[in-house]
Every structure is written in C-alpha cells, then in structure tokens.
C-alpha cells in the first residue's frame, strides 16, 4: 500500500504527519511512501532526508492521486477552511488518517463521508493501554504543556528560579497549574525544571499522586469529587453549581500565584470557566495566565483564542495549537504515533473491525458517518457496524 503525506495547510501549522524516521519504520514493514515536496520543511525535515529514508517525493496532486492512505496532522474538520480544497482531491475507497475534529465539528465528517473515503479520526482513539503508542492527543498535549510553561516564564516580569546572588536574593515565582492531565503534568515538570514553586489542582482524585510525582504541591479544595472520572482518564462535566463553588474556592489560590497555567477540559464540551474576570482583577499586576483550553472556549472568562489580552495588568494568553510551535519534536512524536497506527490497522491486511482501536477510530466508511457518537451528534439513526473492509 502507498502512504501519501501532504503538506499541512492550516495557518501556522509547522508539523508534518510523518518524519523520515517514521518513513523508514513503514518502509521496513512493506509500505511505500510518497511525500509532497516541501511537506517536512517547516518542521526541519528536508525532501532529501525523506528520499534517503526510502520515500518518493512528488506534487500534491500526485500524492492525492496515487496514495491509498493519506496521512495528515490536521485533516478536513480540523482544518475547515484551507482543508476544504482537499475534499475535491479525495476519491472513494481512499483512506484518510489524521486529526479530523469529529466531536467539535461533526458536519465536516458528513462532508468527508460524501467523498467516499474511509476516514480514521485519531481523536476517537480509545484511552486504553494498548493504544498509547498511537495516542496523538497525548503526545501533542505533552508538547503543549511544555510550551505553556515557557510562555508563562517569558511573559512574567519575574524570574522563575530562586537566585542567591551578590545583588541579593530573588524569591522563586509561584506557578499554579489547573488540570493535571497530560498537558498539565508536563507544564508542572517544565516549570519545576525552571525553578518555580508549583502548585496544582484537578477534580480527578487520581491526579493528586501524578502531580506530586512531578514536583507539584497538590491543592485540595474540599469539594466532593466522587464519580468525577468518566473513564479513560477524562473528567465528567459537572453542573454549574459545582463550577460556581470551584471558582469561589479557587479565587484565593489564583490570587496567590504569579502565573496560572490552565488546562481543564471535558471531552466534547466547552471547557469549564474556572477563572472569572473578578478573579483576574484579584491577581497582582504583572501576573500571567496561559489558557491552554482557549481552543475549547477557555478556562478564563477573559480568554480570546489566539490572542493575548491584558486586564488590570494581568496578561491572559489564549494559547492555541501550541504543539505546532515546536514542530520538529511534535512531528517526531506524531509521526511515530501515525506509523504505529498504520501498522496496527493495515499491517496485517485490511482493517479488522472487531478490534476496538480500529473500530472506534473509524469515522466514515462507504459514504456514511459510522462512528455512533458522531452520528448521535448529527442526529442520525444508529447504523449496524460495517463489516469487512
Ligand atoms: P483532558 O485534556 O480532557 O483534561 C485535562 C485535565 O483537566 C484532566 O486531568 C481533567 O481531569 C481536568 N479537569 C477537567 N475539568 C476540571 C475542573 N473543573 N477542574 C479542574 N480540573 C479539571 O485530559 P487529558 O490530559 O487528555 O487526560 C487526563 C488523564 O487521562 C491523564 O492524566 C492520563 O492519566 C489519562 N490518559 C490515559 C490514556 C490511556 O490510557 N491511553 C491516554 C491519555 C490520557
């Protein structure tokens, strides 16, 4: 089978779906790879490196025209404007693998189905141990968490570490991480490496041990959190009264910190608002909020996705697509995830729909949206699971 890699067209997207190392891995397993000229350039991978790894290099039209499987970082759905042009290039029976935003943008899944492609949306990957080597959400959240800590450090008018110098002693910055999931844990670890004193909070009781293991002091709000875990590590959506109590209790904690990195998210929902405008006004001027939930509406009431706003001397950074700003290593991780996914699904012939990973990530097949959750979002009746390939 021939795997096609196209240049990403989402604005500011620096990543590429396969690196030369991932090409070698796939070639060894018997796949051919055809990459669009310049696809890896923004991430630091030259066409020559792909060619040396055994890939052919061609035009975009050639990749869409010849490849059996198209791999992307942001496929249509996750790239609704610039990605639209690709819909006309796809052909029935072709396979598409990438981030397709099927939960936030289910209408795009309908359009993809209309092209007749078999699309796999990596956001739908089940959160099971076996799937971890293919988990792009986790690998990219790791990069985003790291970068969020750097953004906070760069925007703060203070140093992160404690310094004892002839010019006096500098006290360390205090960083508060809300949401100790994949991104939050990496933000904690990075802020700690830079010398900050880090506190963390999460609704999931299991997060305490994880946050402490990377060096954070865990903040308990004393809220009842039984039943908060929705499976796979995801937090359940709580009612507005719960969030109101959270905001009330978080106000004092937020005001005590120099930098807040917020990552609290709930699958398929708008991110909970945990920091109000009033709480921002309670922070010291010069403080910084990096809101990693900006793309999902933001954890701070004042967040504007993709922008930095300043209110009462507090900077609120609406961070979006942060993994794309570290394209070299984000692509290494993404590429490895993709290669593992391809080997899992196509390594032994056609897709085996009795396998949980394959079945749950399958979004469209033979002209239909087949994922039950996405069908429900679209108001479509359930379809029997497709059989065969
Ligand atoms: P996420 O991006 O959905 O959310 C980020 C964090 O925000 C989560 O830890 C969540 O509990 C927290 N959160 C949600 N609402 C909150 C609120 N009101 N207040 C405070 N915090 C809130 O989650 P994620 O980072 O993708 O994953 C969370 C956990 O899932 C990870 O720590 C990991 O243990 C587990 N996980 C498992 C697998 C696997 O087994 N394959 C894969 C990925 C993640």
CA distance 100 to 90: 15
Decide the pairing of beta strands 118-121 and 362-365. Answer: antiparallel
Q: What is the pLDDT of residue 226?
A: 74
pLDDT tens by residue, 286-340: 999 999 999 999 999 999 999 999 999 999 999 999 999 999 999 999 999 999 9
Would you say the CB of residue 5 lies under 6 angstroms from ligand 1?
no
Within 188-292, strands assigned E span 197-201, 217-218, 259-262, 288-291
Q: What is the pLDDT of residue 10?
A: 97
CB 112 within 8 A of CB 363: yes
pLDDT tens by residue, 125-175: 999 999 999 999 999 999 999 999 999 999 999 999 999 999 999 999 999
CA distance 372 to 363: 9
Q: What is the pLDDT of residue 236?
A: 81
Determine which residue's CA is closest to atom 11 belonging to ligand 1. 235
Would you say the CB of residue 266 lies under 6 angstroms from ligand 1?
yes
Q: In 3-state terms, what secondary structure has residue 123?
A: helix
With cut-offs at 50, 70 and 90, classify the pLDDT of residue 387: low
Q: Poorest-confidence range of 47-56, 81-90, 380-389? A: 380-389
Would you say the CB of residue 182 lies under 6 angstroms from ligand 1?
yes
Q: Is 25 a catalytic residue?
A: no
Q: Is 50 a catalytic residue?
A: no
Q: How far is the CA of 180 from the centre of ligand 1 (A)?
A: 7
CB 199 within 8 A of CB 173: no
Determine which residue's CA is closest to atom 4 belonging to ligand 1. 265
pLDDT tens by residue, 89-107: 999 999 999 999 999 999 9
Q: What is the pLDDT of residue 386?
A: 54
Would you say the CB of residue 55 lies under 6 angstroms from ligand 1?
no
Would you say the CB of residue 211 lies under 6 angstroms from ligand 1?
no
Q: Is 127 a catalytic residue?
A: yes
How far is residue 384 from each of residues 116, 364, 369, 371, measured CA to CA in Å? 18, 13, 11, 10
Angle at 101 between CA 100 and CA 102, to 5 degrees: 95
Would you say the CB of residue 40 lies under 6 angstroms from ligand 1?
no
Q: In 3-state terms, what secondary structure has residue 237?
A: coil
Within 75-214, strands assigned E span 95-99, 118-121, 163-165, 168-170, 174-178, 197-201
CB count, 10 Å around CB of 166?
A: 4
Q: Is 135 a catalytic residue?
A: yes
Mean pLDDT confidence for 166-188: 98
Mean pLDDT confidence for 103-123: 97
> Which residues have C-beta within 8 Å of that of residue 166, sequence separation ≥ 6?
none
Residue 202 has pLDDT above 60, yes or no: yes
Determine which residue's CA is closest to atom 1 belonging to ligand 1. 265
Mean pLDDT confidence for 362-383: 95
Q: In 3-state terms, what secondary structure has residue 292?
A: coil
Q: Which of 76, 95, 97, 77 is nearest to 87 (CA)?
A: 76
Determine which one of 72, 86, 94, 135 is catalytic. 135
Residue 282 has pLDDT above 90, yes or no: yes
Q: In 3-state terms, what secondary structure has residue 170?
A: strand
Q: Which sign does the torsion angle of CA 236, 240, 242, 245 carry?
A: positive
Residue 384 has pLDDT above 80, yes or no: no
pLDDT tens by residue, 226-270: 778 777 778 888 888 889 999 999 999 999 999 999 999 998 889
Q: How far does CA 130 lie from the centroid of its chain?
A: 19
Q: Which of 106, 103, 117, 113 is nearest to 71 (CA)?
A: 117
Q: Which atom of ligand 1 is nearest to the CA of 125?
A: 41
CB count, 10 Å around CB of 362?
A: 21
Q: How far is the CA of 125 from the centre of ligand 1 (A)?
A: 15
Average pLDDT value for the chain: 95
Q: Is 59 a catalytic residue?
A: no
Q: How far is the CA of 233 from the centre of ligand 1 (A)?
A: 5
pLDDT tens by residue, 47-62: 999 999 999 999 999 9
Substitution site in 99, 103, 123, 179 for ligand 1 pocket (most atoms within 8 Å of beta carbon) = 179
Percent of the chain with pLDDT over 90: 90
CB count, 10 Å around CB of 367?
A: 12
Determine which residue's CA is closest to atom 44 belonging to ligand 1. 233
Q: In 3-state terms, what secondary structure has residue 121?
A: strand
Q: Which of 83, 87, 93, 85 is nearest to 118 (CA)?
A: 93
Mean pLDDT confidence for 73-96: 96
């Amino acid at each position: 089978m021939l795997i096609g890699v196209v240049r990403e067209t989402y604005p500011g997207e620096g990543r590429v779906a396969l690196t030369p190392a991932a090409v070698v891995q796939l070639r060894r397993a018997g796949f051919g790879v055809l990459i669009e000229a310049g696809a890896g350039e923004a991430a630091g991978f030259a066409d020559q490196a792909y060619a040396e790894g055994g890939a052919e290099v061609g035009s975009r039209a050639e990749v869409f025209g010849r490849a059996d499987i198209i791999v992307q970082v942001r496929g249509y759905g996750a790239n609704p404007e610039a990605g639209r042009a690709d819909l006309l290039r796809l052909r029935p029976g072709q396979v598409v693998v990438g981030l397709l935003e099927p939960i936030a943008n289910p209408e795009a899944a309908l359009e993809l189905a209309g092209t007749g492609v078999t699309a796999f949306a990596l956001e739908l990957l089940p959160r099971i141990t076996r799937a971890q080597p293919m988990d792009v959400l986790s690998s990219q959240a790791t990069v985003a968490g790291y970068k969020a800590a750097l953004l906070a450090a760069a925007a703060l008018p203070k140093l992160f570490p404690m310094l004892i110098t002839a010019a006096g002693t500098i006290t360390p910055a205090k960083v508060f991480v809300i949401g100790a999931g994949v991104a939050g844990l990496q933000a904690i670890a990075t802020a700690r490496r830079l010398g900050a004193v880090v506190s963390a909070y999460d609704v999931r009781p299991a997060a305490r041990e994880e946050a402490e293991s990377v060096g954070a002091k865990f903040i308990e709000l004393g809220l009842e959190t039984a039943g908060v875990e929705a499976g796979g590590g995801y937090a359940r959506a709580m009612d507005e009264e719960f969030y109101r109590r959270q905001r009330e209790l978080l106000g004092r904690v937020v005001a005590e910190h120099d930098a807040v990195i917020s990552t609290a998210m709930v699958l398929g929902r708008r991110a909970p608002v945990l920091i109000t405008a009033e709480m921002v006004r309670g922070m010291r001027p010069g403080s910084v909020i990096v809101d990693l939930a900006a793309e999902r509406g933001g954890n701070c009431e004042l967040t504007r996705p993709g922008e930095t706003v300043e209110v009462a001397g507090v900077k609120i950074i609406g961070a979006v697509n942060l993994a794309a700003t570290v394209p070299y290593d984000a692509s290494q991780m993404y590429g490895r995830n993709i290669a593992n996914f391809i080997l899992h699904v196509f390594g032994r012939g056609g897709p085996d729909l009795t396998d949980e990973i394959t079945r749950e990530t399958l979004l469209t097949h033979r002209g239909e949206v087949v994922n039950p959750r996405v069908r429900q979002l679209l108001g479509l009746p359930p379809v029997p699971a497709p059989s065969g390939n």
